[in-house]
Amino acid sequence: LYSTGTLYTSKLMRNGDERKSVVCIEGNIASGKTTCLEYFSKTCDIEVLTEPISKWRNVRGHNPLGLMYQDPQRWGLTLQTYVQLTMLDQHISPIMSPVRMMERSIYSAKYIFVENLYKSGKMPEVDFAILTEWFEWIVKNIDIPLDLIAVYLQTSPQKCYERLKMRCREEEKVIPLEYLEAVHQRYEDWLIKQTLYKVPAPVLVIPADHDLQTMLKQYEENRYRILTASN
């Protein structure tokens, strides 16, 4: 077991007898998920699904991500309803290659971001109740791969804060260090302590505070385990 970032994999029996893996990469905001996905998409013949953030920044001319950061009380439900829909859409889309790698999942959308909004007092109870009803209905009624492997890119909140400042995404300028600390705590509770919520798969932890070269080396060292979903 290693120590930074998250990925899940799921063995699916789809398209006849062909065995397919779905691997989800998890980690804090700016933990380096995109770099991880890029590395594997360039070096292996796999399908990569990045987080549909462009949709969250522009749905029919509206920017629910930006609105949520401006006023979470008012717009948290709006963004998270749409996140849930777009993540579900990715989970159920036909798998085009023997291995699919996904950035985050419908599980982290709920267990990390929705729970965080609610528990930090930024989401009204009724909004939380409705998102929870939706989430529970989806996982009960829709066939989302359950035997995943999660690759957890484990970082310190401080490192994510530095990276966030460097990349300078407009909507994220208002994010304080405390927000990254809260998201970090939720990830640790979910994937390391594993006390609060069901973990949908075995977890491979990769320490992700390192520089790019070291991170690429770690991805290379873990390539087999990740691609075969065997940790």
Q: What's the Cα-to-Cα distance from 157 to each of 92, 94, 166, rounded to whole Å?
A: 32, 35, 14
Q: How far separated are the first and last CA of the chain, in Å rounded?
A: 8
Task: Answer yes or no whether residue 199 interacts with ligand DCP by CB under 6 A.
Answer: no
Q: Which of 226, 179, 136, 218 is nearest to 30 (CA)?
A: 179
Question: Contacting ligand DCP (CB under 6 A), which of 78, 130, 139, 172?
Answer: 172
Give kind and range of the element (H or E) at residue 154: strand 149-154
Task: Answer yes or no whether residue 33 interacts with ligand DCP by CB under 6 A.
Answer: yes
CB of 151 to ligand DCP, least distance (A): 12
| Tokens coding 71 | 């006023």
* CB nearer to ligand DCP: pick between 37 and 149: 37
Q: Which residue is nearest to ligand DCP (CB)?
A: 34
Task: Answer yes or no whether residue 128 interacts with ligand DCP by CB under 6 A.
Answer: no
Report how many residues bind ligand DCP under the rule CB under 6 A. 14
| Tokens coding 172 | 């994220």
Task: Answer yes or no whether residue 132 interacts with ligand DCP by CB under 6 A.
Answer: no
Question: Phi and psi (nearest 5°) for 50?
Answer: -85, 165
Task: Answer yes or no whether residue 115 interacts with ligand DCP by CB under 6 A.
Answer: no
From the list 25-33, 124-132, 134-142, 199-207, the region that binds ligand DCP by CB under 6 A is 25-33
Question: Contacting ligand DCP (CB under 6 A), which of 7, 23, 29, 77?
Answer: 29
* CB nearer to ligand DCP: pick between 46 and 69: 69
Of 103, 162, 170, 220, the catalytic one is 103
Is 33 within 8 Å of 108 (Cβ atoms)? Answer: no
Q: Which residues of 17-52 are buried (b: 16+ CB within 10 A; e: fewer)?
A: eeebbbbbbbbbbbbbbbebbebbeeeeebbbbbbb
Is 88 within 8 Å of 106 (Cβ atoms)? Answer: yes
| Tokens coding 204 | 């491979």
Question: Contacting ligand DCP (CB under 6 A), which of 99, 109, 182, 204?
Answer: 109
- Chain positions 68 to 97 lying near ligand DCP, rule: CB under 6 A, are 83
Question: Contacting ligand DCP (CB under 6 A), which of 4, 23, 32, 145?
Answer: 32
| Tokens coding 219 | 């991805």
Question: Contacting ligand DCP (CB under 6 A), which of 113, 128, 152, 219?
Answer: 113
Could you confirm whether 103 is annotated as catalytic? Answer: yes
Enumerate the active-site residues. Answer: 103
Interface ranges with ligand DCP (CB under 6 A): 27, 29-34, 51, 53, 65, 83, 109, 113, 172
